[in-house]
């Protein structure tokens, strides 16, 4: 029998499409969405495709919601639920910063604790974290989001080492800039800030995500490959053409001097002012 696959954050984007395609391949998928209002749209899309897809509500920040997963016999978990809070490290309000970690780090970790204990009893299982290249490097105005993904990377690596004796496998998926709307929405979160706009250092009305963005298809294919066991690499960066760039950026930190660039605007900060939202590669 095919394993039961739980995908959190399955209402939209990578999570939704991965859940739908896995169901089309005959896998038993539990597509978890945050709130009941998101159920209908996913039900209708599954119906349109002629798919049998189990949809459940699961807010990863809610203890009672997480507890439901204990009875679902999950054998493969994709921690995909996540949000992106944009803004300078100096400007982003406390409540937004805390919410970033609750959704991206605390909630998924506590859900993993519940699901993994059941996996240990069976002596097998796979936990996959939808991380990001932002978990390996970071950009201006993405410090909150990126730091949450750095935390995810640490949790995934620690879990991998701790669970190997119990037969539990762990992997990460690290998308780069993909055109799903997720990145562009990150640069609109300032609209909900409850702060004093006059004290902000940056003009967020004129700042956008500072990268051209790719089509999401490679991430969907890689996600399905990892969840079904066809891809066996621990870290999976997409698109693959940016792997070398990511490694160079990680290595460059070792040689950087603290005075490098001081007094000048960073190139990506300037690009954030120059670029328009949603620019494709």
Could you give the residue numbers annotated as active site?
A: 145
CA-based R_g, the chain, Å: 19
If phi over 0 gives left and psi between -120 and 50 gives alpha, with beta otherwise, what is residue 87? Answer: left
Beta bridge partners of 168: 125
Per-residue exposure over 105-116, b if at least 16 CB sit within 10 Å of its own CB, e if not: bebbbebbebbb
Half-sphere exposure (Cβ direction) of 95: Cα atoms closer than 13 Å: 6
End-to-end CA gap in the chain:
41
CA 258 – CA 265 distance, rounded (Å) = 15
The tokens describing 48, both together, are 């349109």
> In this structure, are residues 227 and 181 in contact, taking their beta carbons and an 8 Å threshold?
no
227 Cβ contact partners less than 8 Å away, ≥ 6 residues apart: 5, 18, 22, 76, 78, 126, 128
> In this structure, are residues 205 and 95 in contact, taking their beta carbons and an 8 Å threshold?
no
CA 27 – CA 3 distance, rounded (Å) = 7
Give me the DSSP letters along 109-153: HHHHHHHHHHHHHHT-EEEEEE--GGGTS--TT-HHHHHHHHHHH
CA 13 – CA 105 distance, rounded (Å) = 19
The tokens describing 80, both together, are 């995909």
């Amino acid at each position: 029998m095919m394993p039961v696959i739980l995908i959190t954050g399955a209402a939209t984007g990578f999570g939704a499409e991965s859940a739908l395609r896995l169901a089309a391949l005959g896998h038993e998928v539990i597509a978890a969405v945050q709130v009941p209002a998101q159920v209908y749209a996913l039900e209708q899309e599954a119906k349109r495709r002629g798919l049998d897809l189990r949809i459940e509500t699961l807010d990863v920040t809610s203890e009672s919601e997480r507890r439901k997963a204990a009875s679902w016999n999950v054998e493969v978990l994709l921690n995909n639920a996540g949000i992106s809070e944009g803004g300078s490290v100096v400007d982003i309000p406390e409540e937004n910063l805390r919410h970033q970690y609750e959704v991206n780090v605390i909630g998924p970790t506590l859900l993993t604790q519940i699901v993994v204990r059941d996996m240990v009893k069976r002596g097998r299982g796979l936990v996959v974290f939808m991380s990001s290249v932002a978990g390996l490097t970071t950009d201006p105005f993405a410090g909150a989001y990126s730091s949450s993904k750095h935390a995810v990377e640490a949790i995934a690596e620690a879990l991998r080492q701790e669970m190997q004796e119990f037969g539990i496998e762990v992997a990460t998926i690290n998308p780069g800039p993909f055109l799903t709307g997720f990145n562009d929405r990150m640069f609109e979160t300032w609209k909900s800030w409850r702060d004093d706009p006059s004290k902000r250092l940056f003009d967020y009305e004129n700042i956008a995500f500072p990268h051209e963005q790719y089509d999401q298809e490679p991430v969907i294919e890689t996600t399905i490959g990892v969840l079904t066991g066809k891809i066996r690499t621990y870290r999976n960066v997409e698109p693959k053409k940016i792997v070398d760039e990511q490694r160079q950026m990680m290595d460059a930190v070792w040689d950087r001097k603290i005075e490098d660039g001081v007094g000048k605007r960073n190139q990506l900060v300037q690009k954030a002012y120059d670029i328009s939202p949603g620019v494709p590669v």
